[in-house]
């Protein structure tokens, strides 16, 4: 019996850095960078193709950028925590703005289902 298989091997981890992760039955966000809030890759389960598809960027797939009146606002700091012990929460403190932009809560949670 000749079965062709594609075997992929992950890259070797060379440094220990804090990351968060999020997912459900069909979509996973396995690496959310705590330093800059970037999403490194997204995995999607394709049931029709019986496959796992990975979307990955050169350095990051998505990186948050904030703008006010057409000008980019720098991130001063990011507080990282977990809601309900497993939901990633990133609180972005932006230079020159008194408020926080947060990924928690149903209203503004990009990971809400």
Position 6 scores a pLDDT of: 62
**39 or 98: which leads in pLDDT:** 39
What percent of the chain shows pLDDT beyond 90?
9
Range of the domain at 95: 19-102
| pLDDT band of 113, cuts 50, 70, 90 | very low
Strand partners, 39: 32, 62
Percent of the chain with pLDDT over 70: 81
54 assigned to some structural domain: yes
> Could you write out the three-class secondary structure of 17-46?
CCEEEEECCCEEEEEEECCCCCEEEEEEEE
What is the structure's pLDDT at 4?
A: 56
* Radius of gyration over every alpha carbon of the chain, rounded to an integer in angstroms: 17
Domain-located, residue 14: no
Residue 1 forms part of a structural domain = no
Residue 11 lies in a domain: no
CB atoms inside a 10 Å sphere around CB 39? 21
The answer to the question of residue 30 being in a domain is yes
The total number of structural domains in the chain stands at 1
Q: Name the band, by pLDDT with cuts 50, 70 and 90, for residue 108.
A: very low
């Amino acid at each position: 019996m000749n079965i062709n298989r594609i075997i992929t091997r992950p890259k070797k981890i060379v440094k220990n850095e804090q990351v968060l992760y999020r997912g459900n039955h069909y979509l996973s966000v396995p690496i959310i960078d705590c330093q800059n809030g970037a999403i490194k890759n997204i995995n999607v389960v394709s049931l029709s193709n019986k496959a796992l598809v990975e979307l990955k960027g050169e350095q990051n797939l998505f990186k948050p950028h904030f703008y006010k009146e057409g000008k980019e606002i720098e991130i001063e700091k990011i507080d990282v925590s977990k809601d309900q012990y497993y939901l990633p929460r990133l609180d972005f403190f932006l230079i020159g703005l008194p408020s926080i932009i947060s990924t928690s809560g149903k209203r503004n949670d990009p990971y809400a289902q």
